[in-house]
């Protein structure tokens, strides 16, 4: 008969491993805030909880969002933007102040379950041309020192979310992987520092980007339904690019002495608009395929078991930079108003639950006036102005509104500006070109959106938009004089 002490120890082991399994299995999401009309943080936290989302990754330490997460039971990774790396790298005092304001205060007073501080966001991306290479490790070290001083180092771990371009291979075999030659020494130093502090390696993996960048990339290899041409790496079979990419990282770590390092997939997902391969069908296929394998406990050939991962992303961000591509504003599994884009089960057997209590503006739209002349010389500059100050990314080739005719394109642009301007009458005064209508101008699957009411609606936003309209009118006068 087992002694009480053995039974107790066994119970603790089961409890420990059970909690570990739950923590890894629970899906996380990225919660970005680059929206013209963000939902109230309390609404989003309710959305997270009602959809069973257990972890959230923030790109910056927004105090209102962190307060809303108070005692929510949701684990938090809070981010430090790249533009803060330099001051934090240059001063321990700055790092200590950041930790005090953005971690300690919320953990102690507000009961926010902060588990990680993400130092930077893909700082070694090739497009940055080495801008952050000299300051990321010092910033990481200073934040760690600040967490130690605050007595939080055992609870809150540091990490650096990195793009998958930090490693490469000379073939298509994961076992040939290693870190990029020009940053290899830096990567090893960062990995050693993370390992010494029991902190994870965080990587962002985007099969969509593989398809976007390479027109010859095999489409089926981007998803989880199998492929006619799997990759055979010495008996390890890869039928999708996520597994192959992830294991390229595993091999890179292993070759450099860190084969047991824990890995977080900081961003994984698929956009729904802004490119011919960014659509509802592909997004649902990818995200549901990923969730199905998570639920089944499937990992990669090198790392069996579900991944510790954060879907990218929770809600669309209509003010996000589109420098990488128009798809950047369409990664959400929810629209900007918190409505689900498609049916997706996050592992609880149910579909997505929409946000509650979201209010929309009136059902009216700004469109091209029936009397407008499509040859009007002010038409082009007006459309350009509207799209520069709103979101017209759905108008591109292969996008949801890519088949509109000229008049419909103009109407879409005008309405986008009108809605982001809180439906101000002055935002639909493109001279001789625009008119407000109560008839929905949507065309098929191309929806002319109505903006939500949010904290950004009203006085300050209206004043800002009124100034923008004044600039537009002045531009129109100048064009008239020139012509």
CATH 3.20.20.80 residue spans of the chain: 25-334
205 with 265: CB under 8 angstroms? yes
Give the pLDDT score at 233: 98
Length of the chain as a residue count: 483
CA distance 351 to 344: 5
Q: At what angle do helices 136-149 and 92-99 cross, to 10 degrees?
A: 60
Q: At what angle do helices 379-388 and 459-482 cross, to 10 degrees?
A: 150
Give the pLDDT score at 253: 98
CB atoms within 10 A of CB 332: 27
Q: DSSP letters of 137-196?
A: HHHHHHHHHHHHHTT-TTTSEEE-EEEGGGEE-SSS-GGG-EE-GGGHHHHHHHHHHHHH
CA distance 45 to 65: 8
pLDDT, tens digit, for every residue of 133-181? 999 999 999 999 999 999 999 999 999 999 999 999 989 899 999 999 9
Tokens of 285: 């296929």
The whole model's pTM is what?
0.89
Beta bridge mates, 201: 263
CA distance 31 to 39: 11
Q: Is the dihedral of CA 337, 394, 326, 244 positive or negative?
A: positive
* Among candidate residues 294, 296, 326, 321, the one with its CA nearest the CA of residue 310: 294
Give the pLDDT score at 350: 85
The residues assigned a catalytic role are 122, 267
Pick out the chain residues at pLDDT < 50.
1-24, 457-467, 469-483
164 with 170: CB under 8 angstroms? no
Give the pLDDT score at 456: 52
Q: DSSP letters of 65-104?
A: HHHHTTTSS-EEEEEE-GGGHHHHHH-HHHHHHHHIIIII
Q: What is the DSSP letter of 354?
A: P
Q: Are strands 75-80 and 113-119 parallel, antiparallel or unpaired?
A: parallel
Q: Is the dihedral of CA 30, 34, 35, 40 positive or negative?
A: positive
209 contact partners, CB below 8 Å, separation of at least 6: none
CA distance 335 to 316: 5
CA distance 369 to 427: 14
Looking at CATH, the fold of the domain delimited by 25-334 is given as TIM Barrel (3.20.20)
391 contact partners, CB below 8 Å, separation of at least 6: 36, 318, 319, 329, 416, 420
Give the pLDDT score at 141: 98
Q: Is 165 exposed, middle or buried (0-12, 13-18, 19+ CB in 10 A)?
A: middle
CB atoms within 10 A of CB 102: 21
51 with 353: CB under 8 angstroms? yes
Give the pLDDT score at 74: 98
SS3 content of the chain, % helix, strand, coil (to 5): 40, 15, 45
How many CA atoms are closer than 13 Å to the CA of 169, on its beta-carbon side?
18
């Amino acid at each position: 008969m087992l002694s009480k002490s053995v039974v107790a120890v066994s119970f603790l082991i089961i409890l420990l491993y059970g909690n570990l399994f739950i923590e890894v299995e629970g899906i996380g999401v990225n919660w970005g805030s680059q929206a013209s009309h963000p939902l109230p943080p309390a609404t989003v936290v309710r959305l997270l909880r009602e959809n069973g989302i257990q972890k959230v990754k923030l790109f910056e330490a927004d105090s209102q969002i962190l307060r809303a997460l108070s005692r929510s039971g949701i684990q938090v990774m809070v981010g430090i933007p790249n533009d803060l790396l330099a001051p934090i790298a240059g001063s321990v005092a700055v790092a200590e102040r950041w930790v005090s304001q953005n971690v300690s205060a919320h953990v102690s007073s507000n009961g926010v379950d902060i588990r990680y501080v993400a130092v930077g966001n893909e700082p070694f991306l090739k497009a940055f041309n080495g801008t952050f290479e000299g300051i990321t490790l010092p910033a990481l070290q200073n934040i760690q020192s600040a967490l130690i001083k605050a007595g939080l180092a055992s609870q809150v771990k540091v990490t650096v979310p990195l793009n998958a371009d930090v490693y490469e291979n000379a073939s298509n075999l994961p076992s040939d992987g290693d870190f990029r030659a020009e940053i290899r020494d830096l990567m090893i130093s960062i990995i050693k520092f993370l390992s010494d502090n029991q902190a994870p390696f965080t990587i962002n993996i985007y099969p969509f980007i593989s398809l976007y960048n390479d027109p010859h990339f095999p489409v089926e290899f981007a998803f989880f339904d199998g492929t006619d041409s799997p990759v055979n790496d010495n008996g390890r079979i890869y039928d999708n690019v996520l597994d192959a990419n992830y294991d390229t990282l595993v091999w890179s770590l292993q070759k450099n002495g860190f084969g047991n390092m824990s890995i977080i997939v900081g961003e994984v997902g698929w956009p729904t608009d802004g490119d011919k391969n960014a659509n509802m069908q592909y997004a649902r296929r990818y995200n549901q395929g990923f969730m199905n394998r998570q639920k089944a406990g499937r990992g990669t050939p090198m790392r069996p078991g579900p991944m510790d991962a954060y879907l990218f992303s929770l809600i669309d961000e209509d003010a996000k930079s589109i420098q990488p591509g128009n798809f950047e504003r369409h990664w959400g599994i929810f629209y900007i108003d918190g409505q689900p884009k498609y049916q997706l089960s996050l592992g609880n057997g149910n579909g997505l639950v929409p946000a509650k209590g979201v209010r929309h503006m009136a059902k009216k739209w700004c469109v091209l006036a029936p009397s407008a002349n499509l040859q009007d010389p002010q038409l082009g500059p007006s459309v350009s102005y509207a799209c520069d100050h709103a979101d017209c990314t759905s108008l591109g080739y292969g996008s949801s509104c890519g088949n509109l005719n000229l008049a419909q394109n103009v109407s879409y642009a005008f309405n986008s500006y009108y809605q982001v301007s809180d439906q101000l009458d002055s935002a639909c005064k493109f001279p001789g070109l625009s008119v407000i209508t109560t008839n929905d101008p949507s065309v098929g699957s191309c929806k002319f959106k109505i903006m939500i009411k949010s904290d950004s609606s009203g006085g300050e936003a209206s004043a800002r938009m009124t100034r923008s309209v004044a600039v537009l009118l002045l531009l129109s006068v100048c064009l008239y004089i020139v012509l």
